[in-house]
Structure 1
Amino acid sequence: MNNLRGIDLNLLVVLDALLAERHVSRTATRLNMSQPAVSHALARLRLLFDDPLLIRRGGQLVASARALEIAPALSEALRQMREVLGPGGFVAAQEKRTFRLAMSDYGSAVFLPGLTRLLRLKAPGIDLVITQSSREAMLRQVLDGDCDLALGVFPDLPERLEVGRLTVEHFACLADRERMSGREWLDIEAYLSRPHVLVAMKDGANTEIDTALRMIGHRRRIAVTLPHWGNAPRLIQGTDLVLTVARNALVAYENDPSLIVFEPPFEIPPFAFVQVWHERRGGDPAHAWLRSAVADVAKGLRQSALPPP
């Protein structure tokens, strides 16, 4: 490897993509190659490095110790080479690529419409595949290469994952307007007297809302637990239920005459909504562009204070 003469440097581009994707067919799609061509390139790379590089284990390709060692340097070298070659190396409008994003139902509702519009306008050749799972599962997908980007709330991140903050979210409540009898409903006693809707992937989930209530010695009654945010507001109209979720999720209901949006009658710490990716994606210009596009969508979210009820 000390002598570059006679080495096809295109093989290194294939290796960089293989280490990012951990999947032959996805690498082929990413590089606009056939699957046999990628498999042939991997065979040549194994001979070149005298190492298996990617090992099939449990139905997945797992990077060898040697591959993990060279991946950061390879990604950085290719990034610098793209800079030397100039901006022609990546053109969003001409890119043809499929990205896999993991996000909660909330993330899909708040971020996905704006991101889709931006992609159709600036990068119509980029396709998205969206998956939904628990926080732990989303992080595992990013680590394993099954997912390019995860959007959500991740207080604790494993090593090798990088993070970019998108928004700082505050909580708000949603209730049926006719079932509210004035401002007295905004105190803590009235709040706790109502049954509540909880959006969580599993029953008994420990949410930021309930943690805040326990800190002041209270507990609310959860009447309905469901995993999808999209259906939660529909349960509120015509009932005595209260929904407490991230404020950006309720923007569409602030002007609904049948519903009322109000601030919680107790303090709930805000939380950061972020995007997370593996460090091996850092040198991928298309991935960097996508992260920038997601950040632009986040900047466009309305951050104004809630109107008075």
Structure 2
Amino acid sequence: MNMQDIQLRKVDLNLLVALDALLSVEEVGLAAAKMGITQSAMSHTLRRLRELFGDPLLIKGKGHMIKTPRAEALAAPLRKALLELQQAVRIQSEFIPETSRLRFSIATNDYGDLIMLPPLLSLLSTQAPSIDIRVGHFDPEQSIAPLEAGSIELALCHPLKSATGIHQQTLFEDDFCCVTRQALPGIRSHLDLDTYLTLPHLRIAPRGDQRDPIDRALAQRGRQRRIALSIPNFSSAPMVVARSDLILTAPRRCILAWKNLMPISIYEPPLDLPCFSIAMVWHERFQQNPAHQWLRERLRQIASPSRNTQS
């Protein structure tokens, strides 16, 4: 028996669960409440953990506790291991959406918020009224750690490069169109490129000044637009367009959703722009879970071409 086996045999699983709570909230009182124990008991548990790991783990900072480097290194793999252990020992019971009180953790951006969340909530209200949704924002193209750790159970995003333990399925494709306020002077029913380039543009740039598909397409023609305003998300775009002389080139599904709410006019873009895909992405641990299988099927239904044609 090696040293690692001896140490593992000495570890009380409850200590690791408590450590996960401490590292997630970085405060003894909050961790105690999360565990359903007294603050005194959690303080005693923290002392045992410090002895076990030979490290302070949490130290006093300005107004709160902060993790030591050892605790920082432990946090993510500990959370991942506990989630996998929980999944392994959980009895897979039948999922009944009408009575389930589950909460799903979904990640998307504000494009996904606008396109997918309203129909999903409408569907849940009739088929699974006690299921809740928690939405988080993260960029899976930068890191899939939240998917691996289980803090995000499903992501709606551009298709990812293949990764171990990650499943994905394309939900739909979208393309671009242009939008201005109603009765903007100088635009006829057909928008030509010269008119397009004389107008000041609004650009949605979630990643800062990185060149987007519109700028790349214009550059191929040796042309350039004037970007009068650049914003990081979609949420304020329809209000800005409806109350200004700016033109916006954005995903068609977003603009069609805005048309029901704001006085805007829609035009076909005067240049060829690429389509893009949106996929749902999930970790292997949720592949066979009945509740997650049900959720993924509902999202496929929401994204189906027949449904979008009917709506």
> TM-score normalised to the size of structure 2?
0.68
Q: Structure 1 CA distance, aligned partners of 2:185 and 2:268?
A: 14
Q: Is the 8 A contact 2:201 2:228 kept in 1?
A: yes
Question: Are the structure 2 counterparts of residues 89 and 58 from structure 1 closer, same or farther at C-alpha, using a change threshold of 3 Å?
Answer: same
Residue 179 of structure 1 aligns with which residue?
184
Q: CA deviation at 1:182?
A: 4.1
Q: CA deviation at 1:180?
A: 4.1
Secondary structure (helix, strand or coil) at the match of 2:242 reads: coil
Secondary structure (helix, strand or coil) at the match of 1:235 reads: helix
Q: Is the 8 A contact 1:248 1:301 kept in 2?
A: no
Residue 167 of structure 1 aligns with which residue?
172
Residue 156 of structure 1 aligns with which residue?
161
Q: Which moved more, 1:149-158 or 1:192-201?
A: 149-158
Residue 28 of structure 1 aligns with which residue?
none
Can you give the 5+ residue segments of structure 2 that lack an aligned partner in the other structure? 1-15, 23-33, 37-69
Matched, 1:211 2:216: yes
- Residue type at the aligned position of 2:167: E
Q: Structure 1 CA distance, aligned partners of 2:145 and 2:119?
A: 26
Give the aligned length. 248
Q: Structure 1 CA distance, aligned partners of 2:145 and 2:244?
A: 39
String of CA shifts for 1:139-193, please: whole Å, max 9, x gaps. 3322332201111224535332211111110111101232243437611121122
Residue 60 of structure 1 aligns with which residue?
75
- Residue type at the aligned position of 1:176: R
What is the RMSD of the two structures over their aligned residues, measured on CA atoms? Answer: 3.6
Secondary structure (helix, strand or coil) at the match of 2:122 reads: helix
Question: Are the structure 2 counterparts of residues 158 and 255 from structure 1 closer, same or farther at C-alpha, using a change threshold of 3 Å?
Answer: same
Q: Which moved more, 1:271-280 or 1:202-211?
A: 202-211
Moved over 6 A (4+): none
String of CA shifts for 1:218-259, please: whole Å, max 9, x gaps. 322222121221210111124221111111111134467942
Correspondences of 1:86-105 after superposition (within 5 Å): 89-105=94-110
- Residue type at the aligned position of 2:97: A
Q: Structure 1 CA distance, aligned partners of 2:103 and 2:21?
A: 14
Q: Is the 8 A contact 2:79 2:149 kept in 1?
A: no
Can you give the 5+ residue segments of structure 1 that lack an aligned partner in the other structure? 1-17, 26-33, 37-54, 83-87, 305-309
1:293 maps to which of 286, 293, 298: 298
String of CA shifts for 1:65-117, please: whole Å, max 9, x gaps. 9x79xx7xx87x98xx96xxxxx711111222111111111111111011111
- Residue type at the aligned position of 2:303: A
Q: Structure 1 CA distance, aligned partners of 2:265 and 2:112?
A: 22
Bigger radius of gyration: 2
Matched, 1:277 2:292: no
2:117 maps to which of 112, 115, 118: 112
- Residue type at the aligned position of 2:161: D
User: Percent identity over the alignment?
Assistant: 29
String of CA shifts for 1:107-142, please: whole Å, max 9, x gaps. 111110111111121112211111123343573322
1:247 maps to which of 252, 262, 284: 252
